[in-house]
Amino acid sequence: MNHDFQLIKCSSQTKDVLKERFYDKNKGSRKSPTKENTKPQEFKLHTQERAVKRAMFNYEVTTKLYLMELRKRQEEKLMKMIEEEEIRLLRKEMVPRAQLMPYFDKPFFPQRSNRTVPRESCIHMMSSKCWSCTSGNGFYNMHQCGHQALNNPIK
């Protein structure tokens, strides 16, 4: 009987221990302090920095191209205005003026202008000299004619 009593006692103790453990687990899980959510540490990738720099570069390039386009348009506009002004002046100067109708019933006799001064031709001088003397260069004048000897006597 002792033996039965001990078994009952052990079984009751084991039940009590199991209950306490189960109760402690429930109690422990309820009362255990909750951990704070961990925040990920912020980091910056090199690709992000490069993307920002590339965006800045693209912006600078587009603004430069835009300014060049504006400057080009202004220059073209100015050149167009200058050309139009020149064309306007040329048209103003080139206004067709009426000319007298020619007389076909009377013959045309040209009249001597008082502005022209007649000059004698140099044909008589060329006949006195030979062709090589008149056309030759002064530096290479090795030709000696009889008429040069007469003009320049030896002293």
Query: Which pLDDT tens digit goes with each residue over 88-128?
Result: 999 988 887 788 887 788 877 888 777 777 677 766 665 55
- Which tokens sit at 19? 């209950």
Per-residue pLDDT reduced to its tens digit, 67-97: 999 999 999 999 999 999 999 999 988 887 7
Q: Label residue 42 by pLDDT band (50, 70, 90).
A: confident
Cα separation, 14 vs 45, whole angstroms: 59
Query: Can you tell me the distance from the alpha carbon of 31 to that of 24, in angstroms, rounded to the nearest whole number?
Result: 10
What is d(CA 64, CA 67) in angstroms, rounded to the nearest whole number? 5
Domains of the chain, residue spans:
2-26+46-93
Helix (H) or strand (E) holding 19: helix 2-31
* Highest-scoring range by mean pLDDT, 45-49, 59-63, 114-118, 138-142: 59-63
Q: Is the pLDDT of residue 136 over 60?
A: no
**Comparing C-alpha atoms, which of 49, 70, 51, 71 is closest to residue 59?**
51
Would you say the C-alpha torsion 145, 146, 147, 150 has a positive or negative sign?
positive
Residue 5's pLDDT is what?
47
**6-10, 14-18, 29-33, 122-126: least confidently modelled range:** 6-10
Residue 63 predicted with pLDDT over 60 = yes
Does pLDDT of 41 surpass 70?
Answer: yes
What's this model's pTM, rounded to 2 decimal places? 0.34
Asked whether the beta carbons of 143 and 136 are under 8 A apart, the reply is yes
Question: In the prediction, which pLDDT does 153 show?
Answer: 54
Query: What is the three-class DSSP state of 103?
Result: coil
Place of tokens 């504006």: 70
